[in-house]
């Protein structure tokens, strides 16, 4: 079961007039709009702030060539077979 919390916000009248009326799907409309907005947000890129963090970032960047391109399911199966001594 999903827990809920009541949130109260002030809306400009033009926004209020543009959304469904109370008891006509307003809550569902707002929830769907918020979920869509949240799904579009991306994680901010990590920026190290300390000297140690900058060194770690440099190491990660150096190793990027070894990690990319990422394997698909077939590539993973092929890699595992090679490591186990079975070649395709």
Distances (CA, A) of 33 to 2, 15, 36, 42, 51: 18, 13, 5, 17, 41
- Per-residue pLDDT of the chain (88 residues), as tens digits, is 578 899 999 999 999 999 999 999 999 999 999 999 999 988 888 889 999 999 999 998 888 877 778 888 998 898 898 888 876 5
- The number of C-alpha atoms within 13 Å of 16 and in the hemisphere containing its C-beta is 6
Give the Cα separation of 84 and 79 in Å (integer). Answer: 9
- Which has the closest alpha carbon to 20: 35, 9, 32? 32
Tell me the pTM: 0.47
Domain coordinates in residue numbering, the chain: 11-41, 51-83
């Amino acid at each position: 079961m999903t827990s809920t919390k009541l949130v109260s916000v002030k809306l400009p009248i033009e926004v209020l007039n543009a959304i469904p009326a109370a008891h006509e799907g307003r809550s569902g409309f707002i929830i769907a709009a918020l979920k869509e907005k949240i799904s579009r947000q991306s994680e901010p890129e990590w920026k190290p702030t300390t000297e140690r963090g900058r060194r770690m970032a440099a190491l990660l960047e150096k190793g990027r060539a070894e990690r990319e391109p990422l394997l698909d399911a077939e590539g993973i199966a092929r890699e595992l077979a090679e490591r186990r001594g079975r070649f395709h």
